[in-house]
């Protein structure tokens, strides 16, 4: 019996897919945390972090392990990592002018945001795949998207592009698809949940 | 008498064109060189842009050097990393596109206006646009003219 159990355990270990670490990446405010929360809620019942209209709300990476996604007849165990938005510049004045923070608060926020970007970049070494979130109502050719795609390709990391916010009238997921035709693009609204089924299928297909 | 315009007169923004030869020569010092120049308030036009991993290094090091007063980051209009140019066959063969021309400047001076896969419009902000930084970013202030260009300078 001991032998049999050990054998079964060994076999299970052999056949069980390892946990896939998936990083949610993109520029600030693309909807990364909203998406991370939706995925986490859909499969574990719990959210992951705080989403907000203030850029760089997420200033530390957050991960949730054991998110077991079932779609298209298979299931995969994911570790979802919500990362801080990547930017090439961070100006504390923006937080004062656009979000009514006082100067001191804005400076702290901006400082933490710069550290968040560095942390997000570090996480690239640890993930097995990336959900690259873009705001479909914005120009897809921004430097962050282009730089990220270049690096994901250079590292041969499986990537699925999320064309988010398609509930907005001015959104154009086709523009994203045309800009990066070499990758799968899944149009969703992380806010309403529209398109999530397609996303889960794509996650199983490209990351599973 | 003819007036000789030199950097430090502070009326304009210096735009430095950096050749491929210079960039290759810089090797691993490339990012340091670029950031030092940009932090001096110069806009660089790189004949050969950065590779994706160099771009990421530039972002990472920029983030660690932002001080919220004199340096708020970089603006980098360019076509770098744009894979669209390569056909499917070339991509299947594992070809990566060569880095393309790229502009790097201080984010408080340079602003990308419009960008599609084929054209980029960027603007160097005039003094009025920069008013909010007047007392906070000293690279544009009149009392502190920049020193003579360093030895790595290409003039
Ligand atoms: N209309 C719309 N807004 C969204 C959607 N996803 C996120 N948002 C909003 O975009 C803002 C930024 O979202 P957040 O998840 O914090 O972005 P992050 O910075 O990428 O993590 C918030 O105000 C969200 O409510 C979406 O699918 N549609
Ligand atoms: Mg977030």
CATH number at residue A153: 3.40.50.300
Q: Which atom of ligand 1 is nearest to the CA of A192?
A: 27
Specify the residue with its C-alpha closest to ligand 1, atom 26.
Answer: A165
Q: Is the pLDDT of residue B77 over 80?
A: yes
CB A139 within 8 A of CB A101: no
Mean of the per-residue pLDDT values for chain B? 76
pLDDT 10s digits, A1-18: 566 666 666 555 555 557
Max CA distance (Å), chain A: 70
List of residues 6+ apart from A32 with CB closer than 8 A = A24, A25, A26, A58, A82, A83, A85, A133
Helix (H/G/I), strand (E/B), else coil: B84:
helix
How confident is the model at residue B135, as a pLDDT?
44
Q: How far apart are CA B34 and CA B127, in angstroms?
A: 23
Let me know if residue A110 belongs to a domain: no
How confident is the model at residue B136, as a pLDDT?
45
DSSP-derived secondary structure letter, A138: S
Let me know if residue A51 belongs to a domain: yes
Let me know if residue A32 belongs to a domain: yes
Average confidence (pLDDT) over A35-43: 97
Confidence of residue B154 (pLDDT cuts 50, 70, 90): very low
Let me know if residue B7 belongs to a domain: no
Let me know if residue A14 belongs to a domain: no
Burial status of residue A92 (CB atoms within 10 A of its CB: 0-12, 13-18, 19 or more): buried
Residue of A26, A50, A51, A195 to mutate, ligand 1, most atoms within 8 A of C-beta: A51
List of residues 6+ apart from B136 with CB closer than 8 A = B69, B70
Let me know if residue B126 belongs to a domain: no
Q: Which domain holds residue A79?
A: 24-87+124-207
Let me know if residue B154 belongs to a domain: no
Structure tokens at B29: 């010092």
Let me know if residue B100 belongs to a domain: yes
Let me know if residue B136 belongs to a domain: no
- Inter-chain contact A154–B73, Cβ cutoff 8 Å? no
Count of the separate structural domains present in chain B: 1
Count of the separate structural domains present in chain A: 1
Q: Which of A106-110, A150-154, B64-68, B112-116 has the lowest mean pLDDT?
A: B112-116
Let me know if residue B23 belongs to a domain: yes
Q: How far apart are CA B118 and CA B17, in angstroms?
A: 21
Confidence of residue B120 (pLDDT cuts 50, 70, 90): confident
pLDDT 10s digits, A42-86: 999 998 888 899 999 999 999 999 999 999 899 999 999 999 999
Distance of CA B10 to the CA centre of its chain: 18
**Is the C-beta atom of A120 inside 6 A of ligand 1?**
no
Let me know if residue A10 belongs to a domain: no
Pick the more confident residue, B93 or A117.
A117
Let me know if residue A177 belongs to a domain: yes
Please give the C-alpha separations between residue A39 and each of A42, A68, A78, A190, B67, in angstroms, as whole numbers. 5, 10, 10, 9, 36
Let me know if residue A118 belongs to a domain: no
Let me know if residue B137 belongs to a domain: no
Let me know if residue A202 belongs to a domain: yes
Chain A residues lying within 8 Å of B63, measured CB to CB = 90, 114-115, 117-118
Q: Which domain holds residue B25?
A: 15-107
């Amino acid at each position: 019996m001991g032998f049999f159990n050990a054998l079964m355990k060994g076999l299970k270990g052999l056949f069980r897919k390892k946990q896939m670490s998936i990083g949610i990446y993109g520029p600030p405010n693309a909807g990364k945390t909203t998406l991370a929360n939706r995925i986490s809620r859909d499969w574990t019942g719990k959210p992951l972090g705080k989403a907000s209209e203030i850029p760089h709300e997420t200033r530390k990476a957050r991960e949730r392990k054991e998110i077991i996604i079932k779609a298209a007849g298979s299931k995969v165990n994911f570790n979802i990592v919500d990362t801080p938005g990547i930017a090439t510049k961070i100006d504390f004045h923006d937080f004062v002018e656009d979000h009514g923070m006082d100067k001191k608060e804005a400076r702290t926020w901006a400082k933490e945001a710069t550290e968040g970007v560095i942390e997000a970049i570090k996480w690239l070494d640890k993930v097995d795949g990336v959900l690259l979130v873009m705001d479909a109502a914005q120009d897809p050719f921004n430097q962050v998207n282009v730089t990220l795609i270049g690096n994901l390709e250079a590292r041969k990391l499986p990537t699925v592009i999320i064309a988010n916010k398609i509930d907005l009238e001015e959104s154009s997921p086709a523009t994203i698809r045309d800009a990066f035709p070499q990758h799968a693009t899944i149009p969703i609204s992380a806010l309403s949940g529209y398109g999530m089924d397609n996303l889960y299928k794509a996650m199983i297909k490209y990351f599973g | 008498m003819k007036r000789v315009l030199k950097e430090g007169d502070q009326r304009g923004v210096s735009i430095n064109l950096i050749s491929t030869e210079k960039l290759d020569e810089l090797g691993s010092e490339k990012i340091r060189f670029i950031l030092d120049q940009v932090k001096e308030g110069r806009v660089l036009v790189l004949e050969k842009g950065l590779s994706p991993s160099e771009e990421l290094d530039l972002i990472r090091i920029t983030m660690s050097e932002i001080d919220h007063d004199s340096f708020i980051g970089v603006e980098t209009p360019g076509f770098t990393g744009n894979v669209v140019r390569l056909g499917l066959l070339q991509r299947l063969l594992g070809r990566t596109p060569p880095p393309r021309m790229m502009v790097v400047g201080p984010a408080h001076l340079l602003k990308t206006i419009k960008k599609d896969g084929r054209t980029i419009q960027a603007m160097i902000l005039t003094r009025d646009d920069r008013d909010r930084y007047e007392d906070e970013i000293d690279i544009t202030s009149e009392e502190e003219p920049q020193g003579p260009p360093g030895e790595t300078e290409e003039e």
